A and B are shown apart, each in its own frame.
Chain A
Amino acid sequence: MGWIIFVAFLQTATIICIAPFIQGIIKKTKARMQNRIGSSVLQPYYDLIKFMKKDAVLSLHSSWLSVATPYIVFVSIVTAGLFIPTYITNNGLSFMGDIILVVYLFGIARFFTAFSALDAGGSFGGMGSSREIALSAIAEPALLLAVFAVLLSSGTTKLPDLIASLTSDGWSWFSPSYGLAFFAMLIVLIAETGRIPVDNPDTHLELTMVHEGMLLEYSGRYLGLMMWAAQMKQLLLLSLFINLFFPWGIAASGNVSQIVLSFLLYVAKLVALGMLLAFIETMYAKIRLFKVPKLLGSSMILSLMAILLRVFE
C-alpha cells in the first residue's frame, strides 16, 4: 500500500512538473527551425508562476462554472495521468481504471472547458467551443481505434498489462500493422494536442483558433491552471504514444536504479517526440477547419487497415 501511494505521488509530481518543460522544448525547437532564437526552455514555468500571482478578471455574466472549471480540468487531467504508464509500468492503481477511463477523464476536461467558453456569452468562446466539440467527436473514435489496433495484440484494456506484454514481445516493428497504427496514432496525437495542421496553439483572435478561443475569457490563476492542464494533457498523450510504440526501458519493478534509468530514457523520448511535433508543425500550414475531419478520417482508415492486418495475420 505504501509503495502504491509513493509511486502514485511520484508519477503525479512528474507529470505536473515536467509538462511545462516539454512545452518549452517544443517552442524552442520551433523557434530555432524558424531561424529565431526563441524564449528560454524554462519560459513556460515563468509564465505559469506569473499567472498564479496575478489578479483575475472574470466576466460579469459568468457563473460559478467559470471559477470551478480550471480546477476540475486540472484535476481530471492529473487523475488521467495516474492511469497512463510513464516510466514505471504499474503504479498499482490499474484496478481502478483503464484506457477507457483515461479517454473519459479527458472528456471531463473538454466538457467543462467547452462550458466555460460559453459561460461569458462572448462569440469567440462559443465559436471555439462549438469547433472543439465537432472536431473532438471525430478525434475520439480515431483515438480509440488507433489504441485498439495496438490493444488487439494483448487482449486487455489495462495499459500496464498492455505495456508489459509489448515489452516482453520485444521489437514488433516488423509487423506492418504496428507501423500503420503508428501513423494513425500520430495524426490523433497532433489533433488531440491541438497543434498545426489541426489547430494553432499560438494564435489569438484569429478565426481559426479552437482551444485558445475557449480560454479567451480567462486570466490570472484560472488561465494559468487551464494552460498548465493543456500542457499536461499534451505530455500525457505523448507518454501514451511513447509507451504504445517505444516502450523499451520502462521500469517494471521497484528497483531504484532501474527507475532512475527509466526516467532518464522517458525524458529523452519525450524530448525527441516533442521535437518531431515541432518539426511537423513547422513544415505544415494549418488546414481548413472542414478538412480536419478528413485528416482524422484517414487516421481511422489507417487504424482499420492495421486491425484488418492483425486479424488476418
Chain B
Amino acid sequence: MEVFEIWLFVLSLLFFVLGAFGAIFFSRRAKWANFLAHSSALIGGLLGAAAAWLVLSTKQSISVTAWTIMSDIVLRFRVDMLSAFFLFVISLLTVAVSLYSIGYVTEYYEKKPVGLLGSGFNIFLLSMVAVVTVDNSVSFLIAWELMSLISFFLVMFEHEKPEIRKAGYVYVVMTHFGTVFIILSFLTLFFFTNRLDFQSFTQAASDLPTSVKNMIFLMSLIGFGTKAGIIPLHVWLPRAHPAAPSHVSALMSAVMIKTAVYGLLRVSYDFLGDGTSWWGAVVLGIGVISAALGILFGVAENDMKRFLAFSSAENIGIIFMGLGASLLFRSYHEPLLGALALTALLYHVLNHAIFKGLLFMGAGSVLYATHTKNINELGGLIRQMPWTASLFLIGGMSLAALPPFNGFISEWATFQSLLHLSFSLDHPVWKTAGGLAAAALGLTGAFVAGSVVKHFGTAFLALPRTPRAAHVKEVPIAMRLGMMILAFGTLILGMWPGFVLHMTNRIVESYFHKSLTGRAMLYVPFQHSSESISLGGVLVILLFLSTLILISLRASVGKSNNRFDETWNCGTPILPSMEYTGTSYSHPVLMIFKRLYGIERSVDVQGEYAYYPKRIRHRLKTESMIESKLYRPLIHGTVLLSQRLRAIQSGNLQSYLAYMIITLIVLLLWIR
C-alpha cells in the first residue's frame, strides 16, 4: 500500500520535471510549450494531492531516498503528517492554477518567452514541494534557495518595466535576509546536535538548554517570518506579488508564503518540543500587528494586486494569531485548546490558499481583459464579465470571512482560540490579551470586508470609467474553470469541516493527543460545555428563509414591477467622472488613521479665480510609517557604513596582500 503512495508522489515530481524540460524543449512553439508545461503541472498536482490524501488517511509516513551525497547529507523526501498537509495544499492550488495558466499565458504569446515561463512555473512547484517534503537541513536549504531564486526570476519576468525590476531587487534582498536567519538557526541546531537530518533534530533538540532553544526559535521566527511577510518584514510582499505574472502571484501568495508557516511549525513543534510561554506571546503579538496593519495598508491601495498582497500579510497575521495561541496553550498544558488553536491555524492555511488563489486569479482575469490593475480606471465589468465578477465576489466574501464560505470557519476557530485564552488560562495578562486580540481580529475582519467592497465595487460595478473598461470580453474558459475549482472549494470547506479535520487531526493528534470532531460542523468538546459551528445549517436556514420570503411576497402582492431609469444625480445626467473612486472610497479610513499612513496631500487649483477653477489636481500619497521610520534609516546607515568601509578597498595590490597575511596570522593564532 505504501509503495503505491510513494509511486504517486514520485510520479508527481516527475511530471513537474517533465513540464520543466518539455517547456524549454518546445520553447519555439509557444502554444505547445504552454500546453505541455501546464498540463503536466496539472497532472503532477493531481497525483501529489492524491498521495498527500492517502498518507493522511492511512496515517503512514512515506519516505524515498533519492541521492546519498555524503553519509549525513542525503536528498531524501519524507512525507509525514505535517508535510502531507502542506503537500496537499500546494497540490490543490497547483491543479487550479495550472488550469488557469493555460488560458492566462496566451497573453504572452509572441511577446515573451512562454517556454521559459512554463519551465520556471514547474521548477517553482517542484521547489515548493521539495521544501515541505525533504527531511535534511542541507537539502531543505537548497530547496528553499531554489524556491526563492526561481520565484525571483518569475517576478522579474516582465523585467523591461523599471518598477518590476525594483520590486524584484527588493524581493531578492529581503528573501536572503530571511534565509540568513534560517541558516543560522539550522547551524545552531547542528552545533548542538552534530546532525543535519530533521529526525535527529526532533530527537535531540527537545533536551537543549532553554537559552539555546530560545535563540533557535527567535532566529527561525525572523527567518521564516520574512518569507511569510509578517509586518514589519513584509516590505517585499506588496511589491513582488503584484509584479509577478498573475498565475505566479496566485501561487506565491497562496502557497509560497505558507512554506514559511510549515518551516516555523516544523521548528517550533517538531524540533524544539515544549517551549516557554513568551514564544506564544511574541507570535501572537506579531500576528495582531500583521493582521491589523496589513489590512489598514491594504484599504488604502488602489491597485488590486497590491491590495491582495497586503491582505496576504493580514492573513499571515491571522495564522500567526492561531500559532501564538496554540504555543501558549501548549506551554500551559491545555491540550484540547492547543488542538483547537492548531486546527484553526492549519485550517486557515488551507482556506487562505484557496480564496487568495481565487482572488489573485480574479485580479489576473481583470488584468488580462483590461490590461490594468488600477481600479480607478475600471468600472462596470460585471456586465461583460459576469463569471469573473461572481467568482471574484465569492473569493471576496470568503476573504471577508462571511458565512457560508470557508474563510468564516477558520476565523471562527481563531476567535475561539483567542477568547479561550482569557476564558481558560488563569493569568491576568492572557485574560486581557485574549479579548484584545479578538477585538483586533474583529477590526481586521471589518476592514477586509470594506476593502473587498471598495475593490469589487469600484472595478466591477457602476459605469466604466475609461474606454478600456468599457470594451472588454469575458476571459477564456480555462481561466474560468481554474477559478471555479477554487470557488467550489470555498463553499465545500465552509460546509464540510470534516473534510479538513480528517487531515488536520492527524497533525494535531501527534502534538496534543486530542482532536476536534465533526463532519458537517466544527465541534470543540470542552469538559462542561462545548463550542460548535455549522455553516451548512446556517446555509439551509438562509436558503429556506429566502424561498419563504420570495414565495410569500409573490403570493401576497405579486411580482415586483421594475422600471429602469437613470441614476438620480440631482437632476443632471450622470457621468463616469462623478462616480466615487477607489481613492475617495477609502478616504475616511485614511483620515481616521492618518497617523499611521503618513499622508502627503496636495490640492493644486488652476484658473484665474480660486472659486471657479479650470482644473483641479488632487494628489494623495501615502507612505507607511514602517518604511519611512524603520527601513529608510536602516538603508541610509548601511550605505554610510559601506562608504566608510570603502577606505580599506584601496585598489592597491600590496595592501590586499597585507590583508591576506594578517588574516592568515590571525587564523593561525585562532586555531593554535
* Interface residues of A, Cβ cutoff 8 Å to B: 12, 52-53, 55-63, 65, 67, 71-72, 74-76, 78-79, 82, 93, 95-98, 100-101, 103-105, 107-108, 110-111, 114-115, 118-127, 129-131, 133-145, 148-149, 151-152, 155-158, 161, 216-217, 220-222, 289-290, 293, 300, 304, 307-308, 311-312
In the complex, the answer to whether B442 meets A144 with C-beta atoms within 8 Å is yes
Within 8 Å by CB of A148, from B439, B569, B580, B589, lies B439
B436: CB under 8 A from chain A? Answer: yes
B380: CB under 8 A from chain A? Answer: yes
Q: Smallest Cβ distance from B368 to chain A, in angstroms?
A: 21
Contact flag A118-B402 (CB < 8 Å), given A56-B560, A130-B580, A158-B529? no
B625: CB under 8 A from chain A? Answer: no
What's the Cα separation between A191 and B379 when bound, in Å? Answer: 31
Q: Smallest Cβ distance from A51 to chain B, in angstroms?
A: 10
In the complex, the answer to whether B440 meets A141 with C-beta atoms within 8 Å is yes
What's the Cα separation between A108 and B403 when bound, in Å? Answer: 8
Contact flag A307-B435 (CB < 8 Å), given A55-B560, A290-B591? yes
Listed A/B pairs (24) with beta-carbon separation below 8 Å:
A52-B556, A55-B563, A56-B560, A59-B564, A71-B549, A79-B542, A93-B537, A107-B402, A111-B397, A120-B462, A121-B578, A122-B569, A123-B569, A125-B580, A127-B580, A129-B585, A133-B453, A139-B446, A140-B442, A152-B423, A156-B531, A157-B415, A220-B560, A307-B435
Give the segment of B424-432, B630-638, B652-660 that binds chain A.
Answer: B424-432
Q: Of A57, A75, A119, A131, which is in contact with the most chain B CB atoms at under 10 Å from its CB? A: A75
In the complex, the answer to whether B588 meets A134 with C-beta atoms within 8 Å is yes
Contact flag A82-B442 (CB < 8 Å), given A95-B532, A123-B580, A126-B580? no
B584: CB under 8 A from chain A? Answer: yes
What's the Cα separation between A62 and B380 when bound, in Å? Answer: 9
Which chain B residues numbered 576 to 592 have a C-beta less than 8 Å away from chain A? 576, 578-580, 584-589, 591-592
List of A residues within 8 angstroms of B423 by Cβ: 151-152, 155-156
List of A residues within 8 angstroms of B541 by Cβ: 79, 82, 96
B534: CB under 8 A from chain A? Answer: yes
In the complex, the answer to whether B431 meets A152 with C-beta atoms within 8 Å is yes
Contact flag A144-B432 (CB < 8 Å), given A59-B567, A76-B542, A133-B454? no
Nearest B residue (CB) for A146: B439
In the complex, the answer to whether B422 meets A130 with C-beta atoms within 8 Å is no
In the complex, the answer to whether A123 meets B579 with C-beta atoms within 8 Å is yes
Nearest B residue (CB) for A216: B568
Within 8 Å by CB of A141, from B422, B443, B567, B580, lies B443
Which chain B residues numbered 429 to 458 have a C-beta less than 8 Å away from chain A? 431-432, 435-436, 438-440, 442-443, 445-447, 449-450, 452-454, 456-458
Q: Smallest Cβ distance from B564 to chain A, in angstroms?
A: 5
Contact flag A115-B456 (CB < 8 Å), given A95-B521, A138-B592? yes
In the complex, the answer to whether A75 meets B542 with C-beta atoms within 8 Å is yes
List of A residues within 8 angstroms of B532 by Cβ: 95-96
Contact bitstring B543-559, A, C-beta under 8 A = 1, else 0: 00110011001001100
Nearest B residue (CB) for A136: B446
In the complex, the answer to whether B412 meets A101 with C-beta atoms within 8 Å is yes
In the complex, the answer to whether A129 meets B457 with C-beta atoms within 8 Å is yes
Q: Would you list the 4 A-B pairs with minimal beta carbon distance, nearest first?
A: A126-B580, A121-B462, A133-B450, A118-B457
Q: Smallest Cβ distance from B384 to chain A, in angstroms?
A: 11
Within 8 Å by CB of B560, from A110, A217, A221, lies A221
In the complex, the answer to whether B545 meets A75 with C-beta atoms within 8 Å is yes
In the complex, the answer to whether B443 meets A140 with C-beta atoms within 8 Å is yes
What's the Cα separation between A190 and B442 when bound, in Å? Answer: 19
What's the Cα separation between A239 and B531 when bound, in Å? Answer: 22
Contact flag A100-B415 (CB < 8 Å), given A114-B457, A141-B446, A216-B568? yes
Nearest B residue (CB) for A165: B529
Q: Of B402, B461, B542, B545, which is in contact with the most chain A CB atoms at under 10 Å from its CB? A: B461
Apart from A100-B416, A103-B442, A308-B432, 5 more pairs, CB < 8 Å = A57-B563, A96-B533, A104-B401, A120-B462, A122-B569
List of A residues within 8 angstroms of B592 by Cβ: 134, 138, 290, 293
Nearest A residue (CB) for B435: A148
List of A residues within 8 angstroms of B608 by Cβ: none
Within 8 Å by CB of B533, from A97, A118, A134, A151, lies A97
B236: CB under 8 A from chain A? Answer: no
List of A residues within 8 angstroms of B553 by Cβ: 52, 221
